């Protein structure tokens, strides 16, 4: 269950350097609520909160932030942090973000994407501005027209469960010393596909 977000509590935890308490609160808070609260706190505190988020949360929270806050946060992130956020963002949200940036900034940001995400970004940016193609996502789940609504929802739940189990298995293997390249070779996929499975 998502807890109520109060930016003043977060600022107090930051001021008192209670990082684990803050991290626990962030974990229990929905990413859209985190983004809303982050928009109300100062830039320095905002960067601290953002760095305490898990990689998955950070990408989702970033896509919910207002454009001006995204730009402000961009300046405070390292290249590795920025790469992780951009690679983890949903492709359609990332496309909208790129549209808000000056062309020179977009080109620099495209350079740090993983090859697979760069391909997705270029494909979506290749569609005319304001067209449906530009805002679609290449990540989808197919359902059969014969399915009932209940069957379709169960199919979506099972797909999500499979994704989480696969991600946990890959994380366990890497913790046991297997490289992402080894896992990719055994699964017959690219290393970038493994990185996407971990997102």
Q: What is the pLDDT of residues 14-54, one digit of tens each?
A: 888 888 888 888 888 888 888 888 888 877 778 888 888 88
pLDDT in the model for residue 4: 58
Gyration radius (Cα) of the chain, Å: 18
**Entry pTM:** 0.59
How would you write 64-89 as a 3-class SS string? Answer: HCCHHHHHHHHHHCCHHHHHHHHHHC
> Exposed, middle or buried by CB within 10 Å (0-12, 13-18, 19+), for 168?
exposed
Residue 77 included in any domain: no
Q: What are phi and psi of 189, to 5 degrees?
A: -130, 175
CA 145 to chain centre: 30
**For 98-155, how does the pLDDT look when each residue is reduced to its tens digit (9 = 90+)?**
888 888 888 888 998 888 888 888 888 888 887 888 877 776 788 889 999 999 999 8
Which range of residues forms the domain containing residue 175?
141-199
pLDDT in the model for residue 34: 87
Instruction: Give CA separation, 102 vs 76, 99, 147, in Å.
Output: 18, 8, 45
Residue 87 included in any domain: no
Distance (Å, whole) CA 199 – CA 197: 6
Total domains in the fold of the chain: 1
pLDDT in the model for residue 181: 81
Residue 100 included in any domain: no
Residue 177 included in any domain: yes
pLDDT in the model for residue 1: 43
Distance (Å, whole) CA 110 – CA 86: 9
Residue 84 included in any domain: no
Residue 125 included in any domain: no
Residue 146 included in any domain: yes
């Amino acid at each position: 269950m998502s807890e109520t977000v109060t930016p003043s509590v977060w600022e107090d935890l930051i001021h008192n350097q209670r990082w684990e308490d803050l991290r626990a609160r962030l974990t229990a808070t929905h990413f859209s609520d985190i983004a809303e609260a982050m928009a109300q706190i100062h830039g320095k505190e905002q960067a601290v909160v953002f760095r305490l988020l898990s990689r998955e949360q950070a990408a989702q929270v970033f896509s919910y932030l207002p454009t001006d806050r995204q730009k402000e946060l961009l300046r405070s992130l390292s290249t590795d942090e920025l790469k992780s956020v951009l690679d983890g963002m949903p492709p359609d949200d990332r496309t909208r973000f790129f549209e808000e940036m000056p062309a020179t900034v977009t080109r620099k940001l495209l350079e740090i994407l993983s090859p697979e995400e760069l391909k997705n970004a270029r494909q979506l940016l290749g569609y005319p501005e304001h067209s449906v193609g530009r805002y679609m996502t290449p990540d989808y789940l197919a359902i059969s027209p014969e399915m009932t609504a209940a069957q379709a929802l169960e199919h979506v739940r099972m797909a999500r469960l499979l994704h989480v189990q696969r991600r946990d298995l890959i994380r366990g293997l890497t913790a046991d010393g297997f490289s992402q390249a080894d896992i990719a070779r055994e699964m017959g996929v690219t290393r970038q596909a493994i990185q996407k499975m971990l997102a």
